[in-house]
A and B are shown apart, each in its own frame.
Chain A
């Protein structure tokens, strides 16, 4: 919402500095996104009167114009425009004037020039040449009430534009008047909306047009005025300039007045060419299935039963209510009589219709928020006043129809309720004054410390419906800045002893951090990847075949393109492979990454299956190295060789904590590496974070064993193992090495040896007893038990 300072001043005499005004607006919740100085950028341009025009002797497209700047001073100027008549006032850039051009060539300095043999003493300017508006077919004709010779920069004057961000709950602030009301209240200045003065003709508007409302909930009222003796022409400069500054393109005097009053007061209006409306009769109703409206942008638009429309006497839709008018009743250059309509449309319907059609306009933005239901007559009077100033006649009175008009109910707010939310800093008298300052009616009843405010909600604040809405208004107008800063702490809560049990990170959250820190310690870098996958990303590894699709047209309106279907990742693999690939394509090799993130799988429950996964990828690394890393990360876990889709057929394993599967790891299948342009071997693990944390927490519960003080006995054993898996052999040796109760064995695999077809594993043993030094015989027995256990599995001792 763009607001001009000069316009605000028409409602209240603001005198504060620009910065103070901007600060106050922001503090009122009308956030200032930008402050723009739109003062004139030219100098040396004065108001001149056209005395005479005559053809240029040597050029067809140029004429000679004699102008006066008063005091007997006249100039002869060559001019390429022909739209002025003798007696018109025009802007004359005199010799020495400077016009800023906004172009790279810099400012334009006016000099005395000879054009085809005739001397030109200056330049008569168009609106764009002065940066004061759009081209309206030639030079700018100034209002004839200006004094000849006046500096034009003084006529336009300095002005400042505030670009405001208006919240959805502030329909009133979608107008200059509404912004001025808030600001005046804050600065304690009197605010008033001037009453328009009108001279109406004797013709009754109510006899010239009529509306029937068939959708009373959608249209609370439909109010009209009729303008006659209309001559369509460009708007006067002051109107055009303000519209332009506020981001609206001037079109013609009628449409411009309508827009001007919408910006000023917040009531969107629509103008119909009355002569194109048979018998001046219209109907407001919801559209029927299959109906179409040819809208102002020359598009045929289908309407549905959810869209409100206006139809003519033959039942044909001529306008999409509140969203866009139709071409059949459009204002044209030949328009003589105008029906100006100001209505109230139900916000939610306008929101839906405008969104579905992709038609968001200044008008629909206001209807969506809720226009003041009592504003129509004032807005139409203001339009009539501005039209009258341009010689247009105004028919007497309004033609008006009421739908089901809702009256807002007073809201009761108790002192206790206000204090409970805002504390003691605002007393009830203050609250009353604050509310009254922005147009709320307030009655105070009850006794001291138990007062009750009964608040009449003004029609321009339909958003305010409940006590908490009123409390917000009190806080806002008081200023959020004035609240004393307090910091509540869980421990000082009045209910801390009964309610709160846990402060700080939970054990699980701490464990997760520990895992992440450990991975960092191993030299890995943490990455994150987008959880969206294309269809081809999902199935290429064979690990997953299904995923949840993101609904393709969930929010797309008719004007938006359909996108490709995307899926939520069912596992982390594709994302991390893409990250590695990204690195390779930027010549970063041997990158080791990990990622923790959510994965999503279809389910029959209320929500999809969602869990947290951990992915680890080691470039150019054998999976045995990754197995070492996993063993360090998850002490006590074990691996079982498995065939897993996406992995090398004989280099993959499941990760287990006890019997619980924690994840998988292995060497990524070489074809996948090729597809991603990654070197082999690439080792990858993906773990279920929840199960992993469970496993780690479970292990913490293990009983403490104090270190044994007696000397230990060490020996090594090596076996030829064939295809016995190392985890099985390890388990068998661990069992056997325990011997009698209390004996402790540190068992480690320290070598894997491949000799042709044969495979050997070598283990070191460190055994000790808690209460004595083990004898050689005892050690020998345990050694023998281990050999036998291995032989039982089919392993041969390797001597």
Chain B
């Protein structure tokens, strides 16, 4: 047999198979044909034995032709089988019609089990933070998680190509020009949006999800929650920043907690600082008791940021701060693995 003849045989077989597939009306029927269509007793299997008798140089080609034909036919078979199963499911399910607009209002089943659910620990922590800041005179503002490069970096005094951008392992997304659109690496673009949309005085916090390329482990996740504060007003000084941080940390954790600022660097604030909190020795359940721990970053809003956002830096000053909600929740609830937040495991969720 020549490869041409083989091809012809296989084409004929394909037609036979298609016919058989169309004729089979149930999945069971089709399954019974499996052997003869694509299995040991199929035409393709028989033709395989012919290859050995072919000219040596034709064998590889013949083998390839056979493999392609097999892939093709078994694909057809699988698709038809799925189709029949789906059809059968549909037919079976059609009998199970339920009118979902018929809402029975009687005290039937749902309320039979009296049970309260739980809020995710991150939601609980976020609400607590929001409430503390609301009490301090702030409003809660929100912004999108997919952001423009300009809102996330450009307006925040990260010049294009600036190495400081590499401090953030950014996820870019396929939208518009390459690298024009990204998953925000911090909540700071909400600062930009707020300043652009409302005149000072501004007292806001922006909680939300942020993204950085990171391999998931007990202390890192590619997605995390931050809360960012921004104050823009006349007469705001560095001491206002230090005092505000001290105040809200005490409000959240208690008066025995201490805070300190250390010089740091962020393109969008100057002077910039890291802020640490001191966990008092009396917090015996906290594994950081008696230690200073790093909390977040803060600083006076950089004049370039004010200018990018249309605020006159010689008229207004301001400060901004940001920190992770996840870490706070871990500390508050004694959770030691960040990944637990994301599994939806009921044994985790019901503890809070």
Binding site for B on A (CB under 8 A): 26-29, 31, 167-170, 347-348, 351-352, 355, 368, 420-423, 425, 466, 468-469, 471-472, 475-476, 480-481, 483-491, 493-496, 499-500, 502-506, 509, 513, 516-517, 519-532, 548-551, 554-555, 568, 576, 578-580, 582-583, 586, 588, 591-593, 597-598, 600, 602, 606-608, 610, 622-625, 627-629, 631, 638-641, 648-653, 665-667, 669-671, 725-728, 730, 748-752, 759, 761
Contact = CB atoms under 8 A, between A and B. Distances in A.
Contact of A509 (B140, B166, B213, B272): B140
Contacts of B101: 627, 638-641, 653, 725-728, 730
A548 B271 contact: no
Given A421-B317, A606-B148, A27 B176 contact: no
B100 to A, nearest CB: 4
Contact of A483 (B138, B209, B242): B242
B13 interface: no
A1 to B, nearest CB: 14
Interface string B106-126: 101110010111111011000
A483 B244 CA distance: 12
Contacts of B181: 607-608
Contacts of B234: 493-495
A759 B203 CA distance: 59
Given A525-B350, A528-B342, A503 B139 contact: yes
B346 A490 contact: no
Contacts, number: 346
Interface string B74-104: 0000000000011001100110111111111
Interface residues of B, number: 107
A486 B239 contact: yes
B295 to A, nearest CB: 13
Contacts of A502: 139
A640 B103 CA distance: 11
B55 to A, nearest CB: 43
Contact of B262 (A29, A488, A600): A29
Nearest to B161: A348
A580 B174 contact: no
Please name the 3 residue pairs, one residue from A and one from B, whose CB atoms are nearest each other, closest first. Answer: A579-B344, A29-B263, A490-B137
A648 B174 contact: no
Contact of B98 (A31, A525, A527, A651): A651
B109 A551 contact: no
Contacts of A728: 101
A471 B301 CA distance: 13
A84 to B, nearest CB: 49
A639 B103 contact: yes
A476 B263 contact: yes
A471 B271 contact: yes
A493 B21 CA distance: 78
B171 interface: yes
A27 B262 contact: yes
B228 interface: no
A548 B145 CA distance: 13
B173 A748 contact: no
A726 B99 contact: yes
B213 A639 contact: no
B145 A610 contact: yes
Nearest to B170: A555
B16 interface: no
Nearest to A617: B344
A583 B345 contact: yes
Nearest to A593: B344
Given A487-B240, A493-B201, A530-B342, A505 B349 contact: no
B137 A548 contact: no
B97 to A, nearest CB: 4
A649 B222 CA distance: 37
Given A167-B263, A586-B345, A651-B96, 12 more contacts: A28-B263, A487-B247, A493-B203, A523-B115, A554-B170, A588-B347, A602-B175, A641-B100, A641-B101, A650-B94, A670-B93, A750-B104
A750 B105 contact: yes
B172 A624 contact: no
A717 to B, nearest CB: 15
Contacts of A504: 134, 139
B227 to A, nearest CB: 14
A304 to B, nearest CB: 15
A500 B117 contact: no
Interface string B321-346: 00000000000000000000111111
A480 B172 contact: no
Nearest to A556: B213
